């Protein structure tokens, strides 16, 4: 945790309420996100218990598996889930923009511009917590290798028609969520902690109810108290008033309520199966329905508070203005969605179990680049984030004290003005370090650090408007400004000289507005604004033998072996 975030957390402790750590919203939020609140059976992998899913706050679709050990019931759940999710995902597929992209012509090997489709918007999936994101991945993995009866008539336990496709989409969303700053699949706890600091630890922030209690406590209650209540208050029956956001359930709920209800359901099913005559069967059937309704009610009661919490979180986030560069990152997400849409349409096989060497390296490189871009863009969008970078010595902001025109000593002299910036920041600078700043028109200007300005040094006499001289502060309230010998490392604060090296046009004189003027406030960063990725990697088919050679396609696609009893 950086010092500035730690400070925000302590402010939150003092105020008994969350404090902002961002002044703008750094993540894209769809107008119509699909909220997915899943629950899973404790101890089982890929055995969902139920879910609330939908795009309408007031009308979630309730899906329940009354007996998670029953494969047919699980398949029915997944089929129903596909019925909700796939139409939503597909609804964004046909509204496209045309974009120009450079592609390598296979015949000439030259880069030629081609028109490609880019979906105008993309579906967005929101889950309550980080564990929910992992569960989406797991669901995707458990479904994408299933075979339907249509694909393989011989398969022993065919999956419902659209289930493998849902698995592929969930896998794609789960994979995309690992890219820093991506917004296709997001956890509400991550979204909220990105924008607010609570007076508790990062671990406790994973509890959505407690997190919301800090950010938006119920009337008249301090956030810490509300968070404590959300975390641990139980009713007379020992059940949590604010159930965990899942997908894991509270053990007390499992043991006291769910297990007996499931036992009743199982008994009713046995009775129906063993019924001897019609009248008795009907009576048992009624019992079965009652038992099923009871389980539905129980599971819904565990998910509904989380469902409401996710929407409340959305309200809070929507109240923040979107950061200027968020749309640019969302466009990458749209590319990602469009790319997968194309792969599905082209009939490509599901994503392999394990990435081949080239794909894995590509993914890692892409994530590293995305991380660097995200960090730079968040800082540029948000003065509060920039404050953290300034504290870390990775940026500095201040007032321009003086501009001295200079030119490079080349055959065609280029403008290389020297700008003196007065700042209280202490960036980690060395002679020649590259600096970047945003010009008023949005372009990036480069510069390099030329040295510390000495108060009476060679940079000429100080501007008469400057309040302070080398003799020291005239007014004690002004504080001590530049170098006080002795207690401050030499040149650690005060005035820095930046030599502008770019962004001034092609002429001998800089373009209008590209050189700051005395009195302007400027913010220079030591990090690049649009960091680029590394060199290109070969195609997977050309994987060198040092990295295992080209991948074998057949192995990756084989369905999971199924056993008669796949649960314990």
Partner 1 sequence: MAGRPARQPEAAGAGRPPRPGKALRQRLAELRGPATTPHPLDARALAALAANPGCRRRALLDGAGVDKLALAQALGSPAAFGQSQFAHQRGNTFEARVKADGGQALTRLLHERLRDGSPAPEPGTTTVPDLTAAGPQGRTARTALALREATAAGGWALLDHPMVSLDIAGSPAFLEPDAVVVHPDGSWTVIEIKSFPMVDGSADPAKVGAAARQAAVYALALDRVAALAGARVRHEVLLVCPKDFSNLPTAELVDVRKQLAVTRRQLTRLTRIEEIAATLPDGLTFDLRLADDGRTVTRPVEELRAAVDAVDAAYAPECLSACELAVHCRARCRAAGGVESLGRGVRGELGGLTTVEAVLAAALGEAADADRPAPPTGDPAVDALRRAAALRAEALRAAPAAVPAAGPAPAPGPAPEPAPAAVPGPAAGPAAVPGPAAVPGPAQGAACR
**One residue of 98, 203, 236, 412 binding partner 1 per CB under 8 A:** 203
**CA dist list (Å): 322 to 395, 415, 450:** 23, 37, 36
Which residues ranging from 122 to 161 are in contact with partner 1 (CB under 8 A)? 138, 141-142
**One residue of 130, 222, 502, 510 binding partner 1 per CB under 8 A:** 222
Q: If binding is defined by CB under 8 A, does position 320 make contact with partner 1?
A: yes
Q: If binding is defined by CB under 8 A, does position 300 make contact with partner 1?
A: no
**CA dist list (Å): 43 to 69, 252, 302:** 12, 15, 18
Q: If binding is defined by CB under 8 A, does position 316 make contact with partner 1?
A: yes
Nearest-approach distance from CB 83 to partner 1, in angstroms: 22
Which residues ranging from 67 to 126 are in contact with partner 1 (CB under 8 A)? none
Nearest-approach distance from CB 289 to partner 1, in angstroms: 23
Q: If binding is defined by CB under 8 A, does position 211 make contact with partner 1?
A: no
Radius of gyration of the chain (CA): 30
Q: If binding is defined by CB under 8 A, does position 243 make contact with partner 1?
A: no
Beta carbons within 8 Å of 330's beta carbon, 6+ residues apart: 28, 122, 183
Q: Which of 12, 52 has the CB closer to partner 1?
A: 12
Nearest-approach distance from CB 225 to partner 1, in angstroms: 9
Residue 522 pairs in a beta bridge with: 398
Q: Which stretch binds partner 1 (CB under 8 A): 56-64, 120-128, 221-229, 512-520?
A: 221-229
Q: If binding is defined by CB under 8 A, does position 566 make contact with partner 1?
A: yes
Q: Which stretch binds partner 1 (CB under 8 A): 151-159, 317-325, 506-514, 523-531?
A: 317-325
Q: Do 394 and 527 meet the contact criterion of CB atoms below 8 Å apart?
A: yes
Nearest-approach distance from CB 174 to partner 1, in angstroms: 12
Q: Which of 144, 284 has the CB closer to partner 1?
A: 144
Nearest-approach distance from CB 153 to partner 1, in angstroms: 22
Q: Which of 467, 505 has the CB closer to partner 1?
A: 467
Q: Which of 8, 85 has the CB closer to partner 1?
A: 8
Q: Total number of residues binding partner 1 (CB under 8 A)?
A: 90
3-class SS of residue 78: helix
**One residue of 80, 224, 394, 402 binding partner 1 per CB under 8 A:** 224
Q: If binding is defined by CB under 8 A, does position 567 make contact with partner 1?
A: yes
Which residues ranging from 14 to 33 are in contact with partner 1 (CB under 8 A)? 14-20, 23-24
Which among 492, 344, 505 has a CA at the least distance from the CA of 423?
A: 492
Q: Which of 334, 422 has the CB closer to partner 1?
A: 422
Q: If binding is defined by CB under 8 A, does position 6 make contact with partner 1?
A: yes
**One residue of 106, 278, 458, 479 binding partner 1 per CB under 8 A:** 479
Q: If binding is defined by CB under 8 A, does position 364 make contact with partner 1?
A: no
Distance from C-alpha of 51 to C-alpha of 352, rounded to nearest angstrom: 27
Q: If binding is defined by CB under 8 A, does position 201 make contact with partner 1?
A: yes
Q: If binding is defined by CB under 8 A, does position 294 make contact with partner 1?
A: no
Q: Do 531 and 380 meet the contact criterion of CB atoms below 8 Å apart?
A: no
3-class SS of residue 168: helix
Q: If binding is defined by CB under 8 A, does position 10 make contact with partner 1?
A: yes
Which among 216, 174, 210, 205 has a CA at the least distance from the CA of 318?
A: 216
3-class SS of residue 166: helix
Beta carbons within 8 Å of 28's beta carbon, 6+ residues apart: 124, 183, 322, 326, 327, 329, 330, 333
199-202: long-range contacts, CB 8 A cutoff, minimum separation 24 = 199/9, 199/10, 199/12, 199/13, 199/14, 199/15, 199/16, 199/17, 199/18, 199/223, 199/224, 200/9, 200/224, 200/227, 202/1
Q: Which of 319, 412 has the CB closer to partner 1?
A: 319
Structure tokens at 543: 């994987």
């Amino acid at each position: 945790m950086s010092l500035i975030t730690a400070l925000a957390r302590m402010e939150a402790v003092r105020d008994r309420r969350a404090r902002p750590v961002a002044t703008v919203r750094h993540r894209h939020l769809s107008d119509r996100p699909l909220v997915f609140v899943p629950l899973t059976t404790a101890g089982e992998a890929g055995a969902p218990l139920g879910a609330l899913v939908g795009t309408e706050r007031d009308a979630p679709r309730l899906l329940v598996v009354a007996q998670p050990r029953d494969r047919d019931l699980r398949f029915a759940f997944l089929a129903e889930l596909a019925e909700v999710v796939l139409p939503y995902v597909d609804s964004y597929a046909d509204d496209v923009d045309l974009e120009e992209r450079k592609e390598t012509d296979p015949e000439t090997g030259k880069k030629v511009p081609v028109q490609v489709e880019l979906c105008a918007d993309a579906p967005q999936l929101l889950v309550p917590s980080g564990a929910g994101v992992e569960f989406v991945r797991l669901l995707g993995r458990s479904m994408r290798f299933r075979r339907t009866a249509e694909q393989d008539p011989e398969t022993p336990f065919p999956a419902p028609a659209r289930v493998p496709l849902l698995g592929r989409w969930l896998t794609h969303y789960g994979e995309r969520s690992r890219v820093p700053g991506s917004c296709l699949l997001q956890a509400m706890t991550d979204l909220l902690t990105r924008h607010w600091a609570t007076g508790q630890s990062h671990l406790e922030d994973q509890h959505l109810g407690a997190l919301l209690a800090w950010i938006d406590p119920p009337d008249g209650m301090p956030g810490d108290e509300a968070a404590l209540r959300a975390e641990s208050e139980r009713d007379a029956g020992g059940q949590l008033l604010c159930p965990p956001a899942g997908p894991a359930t509270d053990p007390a709920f499992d043991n006291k309520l769910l297990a007996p209800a499931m036992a009743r359901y199982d008994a009713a099913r046995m009775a129906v199966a063993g019924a001897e005559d019609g009248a008795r069967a009907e009576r048992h059937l009624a019992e079965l329905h009652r038992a099923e309704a009871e389980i539905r009610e129980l599971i819904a009661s565990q998910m509904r508070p989380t469902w409401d919490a996710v929407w409340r979180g959305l309200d809070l986030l929507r109240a923040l203005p979107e950061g200027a560069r968020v749309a640019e990152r969302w466009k990458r997400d749209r590319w990602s969605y469009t790319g997968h849409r194309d792969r599905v349409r082209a009939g490509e096989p599901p994503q392999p179990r394990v990435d081949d060497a080239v794909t894995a390296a590509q993914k890692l490189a892409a994530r590293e680049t995305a991380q660097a871009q995200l960090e730079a863009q968040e800082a540029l969008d948000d003065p509060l984030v920039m404050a953290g970078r300034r504290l870390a010595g990775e940026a500095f902001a201040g007032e321009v004290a003086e501009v001295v025109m200079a030119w490079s000593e080349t055959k065609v002299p280029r403008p290389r003005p020297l700008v003196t910036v007065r700042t209280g920041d202490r960036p980690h600078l060395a002679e020649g370090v590259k600096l970047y700043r945003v010009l008023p028109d949005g372009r990036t200007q480069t510069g390099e650090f030329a040295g510390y300005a000495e108060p009476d040094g060679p940079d000429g006499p100080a501007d008469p408007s400057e309040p302070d001289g080398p003799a020291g502060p005239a007014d004690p309230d002004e504080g001590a400004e530049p170098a006080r010998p002795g207690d401050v490392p030499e040149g650690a604060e005060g005035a820095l000289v930046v030599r502008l090296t770019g962004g001034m046009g092609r002429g001998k004189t800089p373009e209008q507005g590209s050189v700051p003027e005395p009195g302007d406030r400027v913010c220079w960063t030591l990090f690049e604004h649009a960091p680029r990725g590394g060199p290109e990697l070969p195609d997977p088919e050309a994987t060198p033998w040092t990295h295992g050679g080209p991948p074998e396609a057949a192995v990756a696609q084989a369905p999971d072996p199924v056993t008669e009893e796949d649960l314990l």
